[in-house]
Structure 1
């Protein structure tokens, strides 16, 4: 048979991938896949789950708009073999002998920024029903905590009992516009109040831990404590664990224990059945305080494509700077009257979320683009 005489339909019948090579960037593809693999490791609950997630990774779309996955490329088995040992959490200990799991480090701007589900579940087994496990949600409550609840908790089936929010006087002064100006601290506390409000949106009690520095004054600590309580914090504790180890956080531990005894109707921020656009808008308005979102033509096309491909019910993972509630990293405090521009949406189907990309963030490098 002369291949030059084949019709388009006949070609598609035996051409498995049907990818336009001009629409695939190898450099961007390798970065994006690498970021997603780390997120997959963090969210997998077994070797079988790992393999299934790896198989679902979308590499690109074919000429008819259908997703091309790693399974289509025939590399799922190889990836699983390479990662099977990496799936096992690493047990270490603090200088005081407390057990610690260190496992996975997905970026908190372009991925969900949390440690692994397996580490959490193993830790819960080790401490028993009366014990406590502390797991970290990277960056601020509007990013790491939001993704922890809406992505990680959905896939793990675990529901936390308490949110612990760490704050420093120095950081709050920065959000007030001047790290050395005491008078700007109260203004900077607006950011803390907003983050407490964000955390309380999920129905859990919030304990604020003030990480004390030697330069902090009693008046400053009292101001932060008062502002946190005004925002609805269950308790506020000044901590000196950086200097005294575990002894400097005993009061914090007791506050967390008390908070865990309070009835707490945990809830997600949005239902998965909500449209992709409305999920983005819900997160942006309730967590960042935006007036509205602005979707580029490319983002709108991606929404239509992913809806057609059956991906609309995935949670979202907004890729934005962690240095501000706004898309501009230099805007401190609680910015007002701004719009969140979404320039693209990346499919992290293996990890199990869609990644809307804000205009000043690289979805591939894991860091803010230079401005």
Structure 2
């Protein structure tokens, strides 16, 4: 559920029997700490431990109140008992896949569950796992958080792009006019993502998802740019050919995975100071020239240090539309600074959440909600869900 009106709410309206009058807010499920905990837990005991550590309030004396102080962890774990089990599904081509948990990559850690990855690794020779949005979000969080928590080793990295996306970053917003100059202008954005992956000690394979709107001239131009930069790549036509359209990509990924055992080079040590971790991600990954902190963010960091949470991982909440914290700053921006508006504590998840720019954890409905197209026929058939 998403609704703008839920970003700020007032609860406890009425007399004392209805509760305490207070300002509150909601976040979308993929941004909730429960979702992050579900994705990072490795056992029922781990699940209960993480749930017990959720920071829910502060007492009048300023002391933290946790879920365990309310004896809430047991009932929450009971509700999540079956949800912790990964969902095994079958693709249209008969391939087994785990679809489990959904923390968004822009406002959470953005990966499939650790349990799903671990089980898959015991059952298959090759396991492909996705991390959400661009490399500055999904890849950074997978390497610095998920792989560390789950003790997951990485053999190869694939960056997925499209011609339309590159043209968009060339400022033409993905028009279908075959404008090669826009494609070339957007290509530095892809190079930035390649260099981000390299910072973690991996040489990525670039997958270009092919669509019917792509022209032969555009594909030839992109291939030329990739070859000039000595990048390993493959055009993948999954849309019209299914798995057959990705055989060349699969071959190159297998070659990359079989070359050597590569150790992940993480960007920061969790033991570093909070500002140091934030600034390393902002400058080394996003390419920012500096970091600005609001008074609220500075206050949050002081409280984090006072409570002893400085050693947690950092999970940045940032727009997915730009390498910066400004969604309108496309391409390969330079010379920008990012602004930390606040830093939230997700003690159960085990990370801090710096809020960058105007990122929101409760999206709003579009002008025409999908619900308007859903209806029920006279014979009980539901339509409009897809």
TM-score of the aligned structures, taking structure 2 as reference length: 0.84
- Residue 327 of structure 1, CA deviation: 1.4
Question: Which residue pairs with 1:354 in the alignment?
Answer: 352
3-state SS of 2:327 partner: coil
Cα RMSD (Å): 2.1
1:200 aligns with 2:198: yes
3-state SS of 1:25 partner: strand
1:65 aligns with 2:54: no
1:40 aligns with 2:37: yes
Match 2:250 to one of 246, 249, 253: 253
- Residue 187 of structure 1, CA deviation: 1.0
CA distance in 1, matches of 2:252, 2:119: 24
- Residue 109 of structure 1, CA deviation: 1.5
- Residue 34 of structure 1, CA deviation: 6.9
Residues 1:265 and 1:227: Cα distance change in structure 2 (over 3 Å): farther
Moved segments of 4+, more than 4 Å:
30-34, 229-232, 366-370
Contact 2:326 2:357 in 1 (8 A): no
- Residue 65 of structure 1, CA deviation: 3.5
Residues 1:81 and 1:62: Cα distance change in structure 2 (over 3 Å): same
- Residue 116 of structure 1, CA deviation: 0.3
3-state SS of 2:233 partner: strand
Match 1:121 to one of 113, 118, 121: 118
Q: Provide Cα deviations, 1:29-76, integer angstroms capped at 9, x if missing partner.
A: x76897110011000001110000000111123344332111112211
Unaligned runs of 5+ in 1: 1-20
Match 2:157 to one of 141, 163, 166: 163
3-state SS of 1:270 partner: coil
TM-score of the aligned structures, taking structure 1 as reference length: 0.88
Residues 1:112 and 1:229: Cα distance change in structure 2 (over 3 Å): farther
Match 1:136 to one of 126, 130, 150: 130
- Residue 184 of structure 1, CA deviation: 1.2
Residues 1:31 and 1:133: Cα distance change in structure 2 (over 3 Å): closer
Q: Provide Cα deviations, 1:304-347, integer angstroms capped at 9, x if missing partner.
A: 11111111111111111001112111221011211101010111
Question: Which residue pairs with 1:151 in the alignment?
Answer: 145
Unaligned runs of 5+ in 2: 1-19, 368-386
Question: Which residue pairs with 2:339 in the alignment?
Answer: 341
Contact 1:197 1:232 in 2 (8 A): no
Pairs within 5 Å for 1:298-309: 298-309=296-307
Pairs within 5 Å for 1:1-371: 25-28=23-26, 35-127=32-124, 131-178=125-172, 179-180=174-175, 181-231=179-229, 233=231, 235-263=232-260, 264-362=262-360, 364-365=361-362
Contact 1:241 1:248 in 2 (8 A): yes
3-state SS of 2:314 partner: coil
CA distance in 2, matches of 1:32, 1:65: 28
Contact 2:30 2:102 in 1 (8 A): no
Contact 1:107 1:366 in 2 (8 A): no
Q: Provide Cα deviations, 1:237-280, integer angstroms capped at 9, x if missing partner.
A: 01112111111111111101100122223211111111110111
- Residue 220 of structure 1, CA deviation: 2.2
Contact 1:193 1:227 in 2 (8 A): no
CA distance in 1, matches of 2:223, 2:66: 50
